[in-house]
């Protein structure tokens, strides 16, 4: 790993790479497009979050966007047509699975940095995590399967 693992941006970079892998494998797409960097100013996004906790590094990872964007991404994961009805439960389940896969890819990419990394169970909620002075955060806005969503990484300083 050439990048500094002490930088939250390094872990966000692994997350973007993992999202690219999800797009090109399971979703069968050409890839993702990184649209912007930084955290969203809107703090009322729905999204899914999961903990990735290790011996030296502790993170919350999230994928969040508008309800419409989450629906678009959920339908893509479930191979549904754009106009097919998607219940809130199924959308939450699908977005949970997106962050589960993406964070699993981060774990795989960063396991040499922290072999003790353990992946939690994802949770879907409306609103974004708010980093405190004890946390660092980074985000990237991406387009994946026609959905514009944020990839978010929150690091708990130890």
Partner 1 sequence: MKILIVDDSKAMRMIVLRHLRQAGYGDADFVEASNGLEGLAQVKAEGPDLILSDWNMPEMNGLEFLRKLRSDGDDTPFGFVTSEGTPDMQILARDSGAIFVIAKPFTVETFRETLDAAGVA
List residues near partner 1 by CB under 8 A. 21-22, 25-28, 74, 77-79, 90, 93-94, 96-97, 100-101, 103-105, 107-108, 111, 115, 117, 119-121
Residue (47 or 74) nearer to partner 1, CB: 74
Residue 18 to residue 23: CA distance in whole angstroms: 9
Minimum gap (Å) between residue 71 Cβ and partner 1:
13
Burial of 34 (0-12, 13-18, 19+ CB in 10 A): middle
Residue (39 or 52) nearer to partner 1, CB: 52
Minimum gap (Å) between residue 78 Cβ and partner 1:
6
Minimum gap (Å) between residue 6 Cβ and partner 1:
21
Minimum gap (Å) between residue 130 Cβ and partner 1:
26
Minimum gap (Å) between residue 42 Cβ and partner 1:
25
Residue (20 or 39) nearer to partner 1, CB: 20
Residue (39 or 145) nearer to partner 1, CB: 145
CA dihedral of residues 127, 128, 134, 140 (deg, nearest 10): 180
| 88, containing H or E segment | helix 88-110
Residue 148 to residue 28: CA distance in whole angstroms: 17
Residue (64 or 106) nearer to partner 1, CB: 106
Neighbours of 139 (CB within 10 A): 21
Is residue 62 within 8 A of residue 141, CB to CB? The reply is: no
């Amino acid at each position: 790993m050439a990048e500094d693992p002490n930088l939250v941006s390094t872990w966000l970079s692994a997350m973007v790479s993992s999202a690219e892998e999800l797009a090109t494998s399971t979703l069968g797409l050409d890839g993702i497009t990184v649209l912007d960097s930084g955290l969203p100013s809107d703090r009322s996004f729905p999204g899914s979050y999961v903990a990735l906790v290790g011996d030296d590094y502790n993170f919350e990872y999230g994928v969040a966007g508008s309800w419409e964007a989450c629906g678009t991404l959920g339908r893509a994961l479930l191979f549904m047509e754009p106009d097919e009805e998607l219940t809130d439960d199924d959308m939450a389940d699908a977005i949970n699975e997106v962050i589960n896969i993406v964070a699993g890819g981060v774990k795989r990419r960063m396991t040499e940095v922290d072999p003790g990394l353990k992946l939690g169970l994802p949770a879907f909620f409306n609103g974004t995590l708010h980093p405190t002075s004890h946390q660092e955060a980074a985000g990237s806005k991406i387009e994946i399967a026609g959905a514009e969503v944020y990839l978010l990484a929150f690091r708990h300083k130890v």
